[in-house]
Structure 1
Amino acid sequence: MKSLTIQDINTMLHGEIVGHTTQSITGLEEIKKAQPNQATFIGSRKYANLWADSKASLAIINDTIELEPGDNRVLIKVKNADLAMAKLLDAFTLEAPYFSAEIHPSAIVDVTAKIGNGSRVGAGCYVGKDVVLGANVTLYPNVTILDETTIGNDTVVWSGTVIRERSVIGSHCIFHTNVSIGADGFGYRPSDDGRGLVKIPHIGNVVIGNGVEIGANSCVDRAKFSSTIVGDGCKIDNLVQIAHNCVLGRSCIMAGSSGLAGSVTLGDGVIIGGSASIKDHTTIHSGATVGAGSGVMNDVAAGKTVLGYPAVDSREMLKQWVALRKLAR
């Protein structure tokens, strides 16, 4: 069990220690559940009143919050408790699952595949023809990487993920369980005789930049032609759909159960809230935010926040909601 002193922790966080405790810190927990020898976090004033009843020995708090540490307890005041929390969580991260061999005997690796130094391929994996894995890539058990795919250095792919042929994946990416990269896009047209649907072939690929993280059960579909692109630093939550020919700029965020229809373009730093849906061939320009549950039908200007279904400027939608509540009365 890892154990850190208060001074050890403050050396990491560069904060201000308030109070004193004889306890060392062996773990982290939310404020209501924390026990002695555990640390917790207070990033908002609305949680400050919970500190008095908490059993935690340490709280990392924003330096704008006024709070007394109490008997045998300590506060470490920092500029941003959320970022400090990330550093401390990293310090207490448990070891990754064990690999008994760099390439497990049950893995199938095509003779043409190139595996970089330090890369690990888990049990039941399939690595296809002409696949290239960079250095220190980790494929956990039962991952499938199909032909001519390239994966950059230090990328981690968790179990159940399938990366289809000709995908291009950057370095330092994380794909969580059961991610689908490069499946066919969803495209059909009525047949000439009107008796069925004609499938539109998708012969493009998926290109994913560096430092991208994609959550469990999310899908990025291949392009009809050219590439579906996810830019450097994008963070994609669980259960997200990115359809064919979408292009995401740098450092976009998509929360759970949101979806992009075909040929949507996101600028840099766009934020898509949970369960939001974006109409095909729509452009959301850099720095814009789409509120949770919204339906975007038209382009969104840079830096703008939209809400509602259909989505409009957030201030306008809030006025509409107020008016509706008044009508209800």
Structure 2
Amino acid sequence: MDKIEEFIQFCLENKERLNTRIKYHYTDDGVNLINFLEIAKVIYEEENREQLILELEKLKNIMMNICIDDHFLYSSYHYNSEERDEYYDNFLKNMEYLRNYNGFWNKEYFMELYKLTEKDIDDFKENMRKRYAPSFAEKAEKQNNKILIEKEKDRKFMEDYRVKENNLSEINLKKYENKELNRVNIDIKKVHYPLVIKFFKNKEIISINKCVSNLAYSLKAKEHLEFDDFNIVHIEDYLIDDIIIEYKIKYDPEYNSSAIVQDITKVFKYRNESQVKRYYKDMYTMQAINKVVNLYNVGTFTFQSGRKIYNRVELEEAIEKHLKKDNKNIN
């Protein structure tokens, strides 16, 4: 009995080392009990338990890393050149250890446990080689693909910058403010989405947010703001992002997202500074853009967060005028 209790205590003290659960596949911290007990029984009568566990840890960690997404585990973006080389060298040593393993444990048991085949391992090794030790041709192909991807992203951005239908005549903030409902007049079961929510504290607007469904959840998510009142108003989906920006320009609330214009396909009137810079990068510097802005009094607004937005319609008109003026001077 003493021997069994001693063994159980030993297993409990080493349960994470004995555990064969693929931890990155689950959100809980539980131990895969069936596998745990199978492994525990193997070492019950063995004297050299510590060495056996060391072998077990190494085998299972190598196989775990193979059978889950290597992009998640082996992201190299934060490594410098020396660290990358060291990491890849260790990886090769682990693969060699696995290939030539002839220790106490049954390697095939773990291959089956993690649903791995020799082909899976070979594919994994090849993917890692391409990432950490690519050939010259592979590097050239990767660079070319990267250029093509960036060009496509740029094309999509330029297209999106102009895409939304002109709805300037419908952007009427006063109209929607007159329709706002205070919390005491809201039947939460009859709310018509999407909504703009204005959060108040001591009668000051501290946050303005969009709610596309489940008002109760949105209110719960904003409890940390310690608001003491709120208003809501339904705004048509195609117009709500434009109106939210008008709200934020008017009130510039304390808790204001830095991404004032995040999805440019949803907004017609405004663009943020980085979007303007990217759109005109082959034509003007931001210094030149701001000169045009000042010369033609283009509408801009800088929020408390430091994020600056431009009236895209006025900016385009100003640039067109400036180009015509320059052409006249040339002629």
TM-score bracket for the superposition, by shorter chain length: under 0.3
Q: Please state which structure has a larger fraction of its residues in helix.
A: 2
State the structure with bigger RCO (CA 8 A, min sep 6), 1 or 2: 2
Q: Please state which structure has a larger fraction of its residues in strand.
A: 1
Larger Rg: 2
The TM-score with structure 1 as length reference comes to 0.25
